[in-house]
A and B are shown apart, each in its own frame.
Chain A
Amino acid sequence: MKPLLLRLEPVIWLLFGAGIMLGTILLPGYLLTMGLGVPLGVLPAEALSYERLHGMLSHPIGGLVFRLVALALIALPLWKAAHHLRSLSVDFDGHDRDGLVGGVLYLIALAGSVLGILAVIRL
């Protein structure tokens, strides 16, 4: 597995870099509304009503942007997570298991990304 990971390193680094940059830039907005603002009643519940969100999805440009942002919010944090958790494993004496740990973590990120694409297509 380790030689394969080394060959895929440029792709993995691209996705990791996008994850740490774009994922970090996009996540606070999601967390402040969907995760905290609306559940705590700071923002109106109607803002996240099913009808309003589906109205946004049906807009020709807005719907595409909404889907792309949703996909970025799903996939990019997973790639950032996979690479950083692999690095954490190596830091704690994980050189010998690096191929297995890295392979499993990147497979989780890949599976999540594919499911994310399916999730935004079926919206």
Chain B
Amino acid sequence: MARVLVVDDEPNIVLSLEFLMQQAGFEVVTAEDGEQALARVAEQAPDLVLLDISLPDISGFDVLEQLRADPARARLPIIMLTAHGREVEREKGMALGADDYVTKPFSTQALVDKVRTLLDEAS
């Protein structure tokens, strides 16, 4: 069973994502800031990360950069979640090696589809 890491500092958003992923048949790990996210990736080796950009400590971009710097995580599928709907941010995220980019508020069905596709490609 694929494992998905949900990183967001909004408890209710984490709650909704956790429910959606579990319902889609994935195992879910959560983190509420950047440091926690890096720790969870190291401990739990998730197959995919849903990563919010505005985090209380380090930003989602920093987390993305650090993950990509590690060769072992170079191919780890990462979907950026953001409330900033700006084109610049999307481009920045893609340039840093994100696999996809989702603007809040998102369509739950589309997000689940994206996660499925990426996991299929990875395996």
Verify that A and B bind, or say they do not. no
